[in-house]
Amino acid sequence: MIAQRRNYLFVALAAGAVFALGLGLRQAQPLFISAINSSTGMGYATISLAFGIAQLMWGLAQPVAGGIADRYGPRPVMIGGALLVSAATALTPLAHTGLALALLIGVLGATGAGALGPSLLMSAANRWIPEAKRAFASGVINAGGSFGQFTLVPLAQLAIGLAGWQPALVLLGASGLLAVPLVLWLTRGGAAHASHAASPGAASLRQALRAAAGDRSFLLLSAGFFTCGFHVAFIVTHLPGYVALCSLPATVSAWSLAVVGLFNIGGSLWIGLRIQTWRMKMSLVGIYAARAVIILVFFQFAPKTAFSFLVFSAAIGFTYLSTVPPTVGLVAKLHGPKYLATLFGVVMLSHQVGGFLGAWLGGKVFVATGNYDLMWWADIALCLFAAAINLPIREARQPAAAAA
């Protein structure tokens, strides 16, 4: 029994390490915005558009990759994703036009990272993990993404300082290749818990998608996740710009983003334990409401010092990706685990449509007004909206779970 428990943990840790590489590469890219702008003269709005497209494509890639993986298996999808995001990141220094940057960062890199997204990883890991352990395992996998942000972002900033931004991007891209052996191990052979024959839910992928489209609770969950994507993408993409606007050094940006990742490790593990006994929709309500308070206090009342940025990053980091485990859990509760990769991918698409708007509009608002004030107020309002819209979700236990 102890050996089995260790195996479940090793599977979750391996999936978390893959997520760490995929998410870490994406979260380190905003550090290069200023250097890309200075080197190419593209303009802040054009670069923000490329990053906004990346948010959208990361979301679009996940249901597509999930559908392919549900049919043909996750191994080729995730290996292809690792190769794609690595190559696109390493080739970014060659992008001298807005179109080239949008293609590399916005389309190819984001598509590759989407194939290493949480929907695919959690679905692949669940083949090896019994149902009673999946809530905590999802927290472990989610924490892996945060660990990637905590480690790769400051390392990328260090590489920029030591070697310059162009070699730093090449090194960052090469690090993504480490995901390949992890994916090979994670998707090896058969799994004791791989069969979905007795799982509740639709008999075919088309039926699953049709049922989800007609499910009010699924639509409310997706709408709440849309707003989550908006404010998370705005903060991650434009926090370096806000640090510069406050006349603080670039190292504050790197350490702030790293602290977000560090504290999200604790937040992900904590929520993974809590949702085993708490109602998942109420967990989401609490997380979104807490974000609204954190952003309001930082934006309106806190002095803009390095210490304030780090405290804000720690607070927002604890809630940053902690929405993912209860959202995954609700999708599985509502429609079963059989097509979880695809259905959670659809929810992630909603998240990333919001992410596109958060990243793109952040640049547009800054160019138009010279500050980010409107975006901070929009963040607060959308956090409160997300908290309210999760309340009507009907969180019923699955028949299989109730029988167990």
Q: What is the pLDDT of residue 202?
A: 56
Domain boundaries, the chain: 2-187+201-398
Within its chain, how far is the Cα of 59 from the centroid? 9
Q: Is residue 156 within 8 Å of residue 253, measured between CB atoms?
A: no
290: which 2 tokens? 């807490």
Per mean pLDDT, which range of 2-6, 42-46, 157-161 is the poorest?
A: 2-6
Does the pLDDT of residue 285 top 90, yes or no?
yes
Cβ atoms within 10 Å of 102's Cβ, excluding its own? 21
Q: Which of 184-198, 295-309, 326-340, 380-394 has the lowest mean pLDDT?
A: 184-198
* Cα–Cα separations (whole angstroms), residue 105 to 31, 98, 158, 160, 180: 13, 10, 21, 18, 20
CA distance 13 to 125: 10
Q: Is residue 376 predicted with pLDDT exceeding 90?
A: yes
CB-CB contact of 366 with 47 (8 Å): no
Residue 134's pLDDT band (cuts 50, 70, 90): confident
Mean pLDDT of 54-63: 81
Task: Kindly report whether the global pTM for this prediction surpasses the value 0.85.
Answer: no
Asked if the model's pLDDT at residue 132 lies above 60, the reply is yes
Mean pLDDT of 31-60: 84
Tell me what the mean pLDDT of segment 104-114 comes to: 89
Asked if the 2-187+201-398 domain carries CATH number 1.10.20.140, the reply is no
pLDDT (0 to 100) of residue 396: 63
The confidence score (pLDDT) of residue 369 equals: 93
